[in-house]
Structure 1
Amino acid sequence: MKRKMIKIDEEKCTGCGECILSCAEGAIVIKDGKAKVVKDMYCDGLGACLGHCPEGALSIEEREAEPFNEEAAREWVASTRDQETHSCNSSRPMMIMPSKPAEAGEITSQLQNWPIQLHLAPEVTPGYKGASLLIAADCTGFSLGNVQRDFIAGRVARIGCPKLDDFQAYVEKLTRIFKGNDIKDITLIRMDVPCCGGLQHLVREALKHSGKDLPLQEYIVERYGGKVVKVSA
């Protein structure tokens, strides 16, 4: 049947996820960094999500689509909530207001974005615009006492492990992130173990493939004592 449906302009969509929150039927998901209608029968076509898109990527169109199935949509929403109870589905991109600066003897979080895992991170998002990007090896957060103050504060954070994660997938994803966003500069922190050198290699490879000449600062964290050594500027 022909009926009204949400239309998503993928050229404008940044994958911020604001539309998901306003869709009571759960018809929209973020896939490959873009909002998509998961199934036509979950969308009622009323457009409750339209005013929540900061990029104006949503509109209403009339096209051939399955009829809206309210019962199926309700079951879909219930099933996704059940999945969130048992697994980590919270990969919707969002910006976070960092805690106030730490007072004497106090440690506060300076994290300003979510998610931080590189494999969950969006490839294009307003949060990257003019941002200082931190790319950190997973272990640095446990080895460096002042990581919040010295590295996370004021930066968009991404973490990963060059040994356990998919190296080539990270090169390709970072290439798209560097190429598709107006990033100001990059800070890289890694451990002093040989396998962690792969993080430096994949970031440099991604920069080369992206064609961008972004300022890059690299730091190595020593396992014993957490001393930080600056290796490039």
Structure 2
Amino acid sequence: MKNLACGCPGSNVRTIEKPATENTATGKVASELRQWPTQLHLVPPSAPWLQNAHLLIAADCAPFAYGDFHRDFIKGKVLVNACPKLDDTSPYLDKLTAILKHNDIQSLTVTIMEVPCCRGLAMLAKQALEASGKDIPFEVAILGVDGERRS
């Protein structure tokens, strides 16, 4: 594991190897998370799991509001998460642009909540994609505070 300047072991970059998952008779749903860390501030653009990834950028609240988030969004993707309202987003445009430029990202999906402050995350992702010069599939999924998908 690579040690980061902050010295926090929770910030170490990790790939999480898992066998294929299915819902079992117990009803327990397995996590689809494939890497660590997920917080955008902590993800280095050179993380090995970004290469050839289908990238998911999730607003921090989205997985809590949408019950099937792992199955419908994380499965088969690499997740980074952020909050456009509470985070210092000033480095996000450069970081996302670097991630897109330096990795062969296959697709970009952004999950945001229907609340107005969340739209900033989708705008940042779109600006980063444009700045990267890449032409990859781009989707924004809007989730309702009631747990329903709006788009």
Pick aligned residue for 1:109 from 31, 43, 49: 31
Find runs of 4+ consecutive structure 1 residues off by over 4 angstroms: none
Show structure 2 runs of 5+ residues with no match: none
CA distance in 2, matches of 1:141, 1:183: 22
Can you list the C-alpha shifts for 1:150-189, whole angstroms capped at 9, x where unaligned? 1111110000001111222111110111111111101110
CA distance in 2, matches of 1:228, 1:184: 23
Aligned pairs, number: 149
Q: Which amino acid aligns with 1:98?
A: K
Task: Give the SS at the match of 1:188.
Answer: strand
Task: Give the SS at the match of 2:150.
Answer: strand
TM-score in terms of structure 2 length: 0.91
Show structure 1 runs of 5+ residues with no match: 1-16, 21-28, 32-79, 81-87
Q: 1:55 maps to which residue?
A: none
CA distance in 2, matches of 1:98, 1:192: 32
Pick aligned residue for 1:139 from 43, 61, 71: 61
* Cα drift, residue 126 of structure 1: 2.1
CA distance in 2, matches of 1:126, 1:167: 23
1:93 to 2:13 alignment: yes
Q: 2:50 maps to which residue?
A: 128
1:199 to 2:131 alignment: no
TM-score in terms of structure 1 length: 0.60
Task: Give the SS at the match of 1:167.
Answer: coil
Which has the greater radius of gyration? 1
CA distance in 2, matches of 1:102, 1:122: 32
CA distance in 2, matches of 1:183, 1:103: 32
Q: Which amino acid aligns with 2:65?
A: S
CA distance in 1, matches of 2:84, 2:102: 23
CA distance in 2, matches of 1:217, 1:209: 17
Q: Which has the higher strand share?
A: 1
Pick aligned residue for 1:165 from 79, 83, 87: 87
Q: 2:4 maps to which residue?
A: 30
* Cα drift, residue 106 of structure 1: 2.2
**Matched residues, percent identical?**
43
Higher relative contact order (CA 8 A, sep 6+): 2
Task: Give the SS at the match of 1:227.
Answer: coil
* Cα drift, residue 194 of structure 1: 0.2
Can you list the C-alpha shifts for 1:92-135, whole angstroms capped at 9, x where unaligned? 11110236322252211111100000000111122112111110
Are the equivalent residues in 2 in contact too, given 1:167–1:202 (CA < 8 A)? no
Task: Give the SS at the match of 2:131.
Answer: helix
CA distance in 1, matches of 2:63, 2:137: 23
Pick aligned residue for 2:112 from 171, 190, 209: 190
Superposed, 1:9-88 pairs within 5 Å as 17=1, 20=2, 29-31=3-5, 88=8
Q: Which amino acid aligns with 2:78?
A: V
